[in-house]
Amino acid sequence: MKRETMRGRLTTGRRSSAALRWAGLAALAVAAALAGPAPGQLLRKGDYGAGLTVSVYQFDDTRSRAFEPVTTLKQTVSSPQEEIDLITRTYGVEEMKSRHVRSIGLREGESFTDSPTFNERPLVITITPEEVTKEEVKFNLVARYAEETLLEARNVRVGNYETVMLRGARGDFGVREFMGPNGVERIPEKRALLITVTPSVIQVSGLQNKPSEISRPTDQFGSKVGLGASDIFVMPTVVNRVAPKFVAGSQPKGTITLEGVVTPEGRATNVRVLDTPDPAFNAKAIDAFRQYRFNPATLNGRPTYATFRETIVFSKPGPL
């Protein structure tokens, strides 16, 4: 794909309070950032980090209206479905479907690579906030699938609490759903890639969902394994998720965060709850997490034990 230097952000509306939580599990960090530094403390370049929410979608580019490779949305909304509705209505994007959402807290110049599995192959997404100021973030993002670069965006600027939309190329990562004899069935389909990025600028000390918190290498007992300068660690990726099953009418609200150890065989063990809306729901959530299947983490190319943190969203949170 032709590399382009992306144009600066457009003037957009400010983000709603409800959106702060969806745009990252870093909501508490945002609140801390809004409180500002202590009296007499002057923040310098490098003191700011970015809580980035990266949302991955597929869409039918053959039926959609043409739109720019980089577009700053006129507003930031509070859920993937609301974002789909906004983009479909405003830009004529057809058959848009949410595929993956990740919130990550990064320092300036720090890269993070995510690799959700679509159609048995990873979509490898690397994002790097090259510059972070109090007002905006400049970042690079590259997405590859099946050895092809589907999206490469350089020097993209987006304001604090704004959302930028990045259009990618077509690939075989898409899916089509239909009703079969055994319920909803899914088959692979060629679709175009679309990614949105929403940053929240906060002090580095308040970053949440840092890469080391989402996953780190361990031994079989869950004890931390130190990494040398030349070691290469790749976090595990979820191949199959299982939703918690609750009695009708007892669906919890909010989110629950769990952490477990993923074995070299791709199974979750030692699962524990880190945050919950109600302890009564913990057992069901733990049981579901234990049924997850993973592509295991690797350390220097070999499968290894590693922690993995997951937040299950039961309902859209209310305003802060």
Each residue of 54-110: pLDDT tens digit? 999 999 999 999 999 999 999 998 888 899 999 999 999 999 999 988 888 999 999
- My answer on whether 31 and 69 are in the same domain is yes
Retrieve residue 84's tokens. Answer: 């789909």
Domain boundary among 171, 206, 241: 206
pLDDT in tens, 151-171: 999 999 999 999 999 999 999
Q: Is the dihedral of CA 142, 211, 217, 274 positive or negative?
A: negative
275/221 same-domain check: yes
- The confidence score (pLDDT) of residue 1 equals 43
The pair of three-digit structure tokens given for residue 96, joined into one six-digit string: 């848009």
Q: What is the pLDDT of residue 116?
A: 81
Q: Taking 80 as the threshold, does the pLDDT of residue 25 lie above it?
A: no
Q: Report the CATH number at residue 276.
A: 3.30.2420.10
pLDDT of residue 273: 94
Of 192, 26, 31, the residue nearest 99 (C-alpha) = 192
Question: What CA–CA distance (Å, rounded) separates 60 from 296?
Answer: 32
pLDDT of 3 > 50? The answer is no
Give yes or no: residues 48 and 171 share one domain. yes
Residue 34 reports pLDDT greater than 90: no
Task: State how far the alpha carbon of 274 is from the alpha carbons of 104, 259, 278, 310, 319, in Å.
Answer: 17, 7, 12, 10, 22
Domain of residue 265, residue span: 215-313
Which residue intervals of 110-254 are DSSP H helices? 211-214
Is there a single domain that holds both residue 234 and residue 179?
no
- Judge whether residue 35 has pLDDT over 80: no
Q: What is the mean pLDDT of residues 28-53?
A: 58
Q: How far apart are CA 254 and CA 190, in angstroms?
A: 34
Specify whether 111 is located in the same domain as 195.
yes
Query: pLDDT tens, 189-209?
Result: 999 999 999 999 999 998 988
Please check whether residues 232 and 193 belong to one and the same domain.
no
Distance of CA 117 to the CA centre of its chain: 13
Contact criterion met (CB below 8 Å) for 105 and 209 = yes
Q: In this structure, are 264 and 137 located in the same domain?
A: no
Residue 63 token pair: 């039926």
Among residues 166, 183, 206, the one where a domain terminates is 206
Residue 249 vs residue 237, higher pLDDT: 237
Distance CA 5, CA 116 (A): 26
Residue 194 domain flag: yes
Q: How far is CA 30 from the centre of its chain?
A: 17
CA-closest candidate to residue 93, choices 165, 161, 186, 2 = 165
SS3 content of the chain, % helix, strand, coil (to 5): 15, 45, 40
d(CA 52, CA 274): 21
| pLDDT, position 230 | 87
Quick one: DSSP state of residue 280? Answer: G
Please tell me the least confidently modeled range out of 121-130, 144-153, 203-212. 203-212
Strand partners for 125: 114, 143
Angstrom distance (rounded) from CA 281 to CA 279: 5
Ramachandran assignment for 195, one of left (phi > 0), alpha (psi -120 to 50 degrees), beta (any other): beta
Region of 91 please: left (phi>0), alpha (psi -120 to 50) or beta.
Answer: alpha
Strands 293-295 and 237-240: antiparallel
24 with 93, same domain?
Answer: yes
> Which amino acid, 241?
R
Together in a domain, 201 and 220: no
Q: Is the pTM of this model over 0.85?
A: no
- Angle made by CA atoms 108, 114, 117, in degrees to the nearest 5: 170
Q: Collapsing DSSP states into helix, strand and coil, what is residue 211?
A: helix
CB contact at 8 A, 166 and 196: yes
Count of domains for the chain: 2
Let me know whether 159 and 306 are in one domain.
no
% of residues, the chain, pLDDT over 90:
52
| Strand pairing category for 255-262 and 237-240 | unpaired
Residue 318 lies in a domain: no
What is the spatial distance between Cα 208 and Cα 48, in angstroms, rounded to a whole number?
Answer: 13
In a domain, 3, yes or no: no
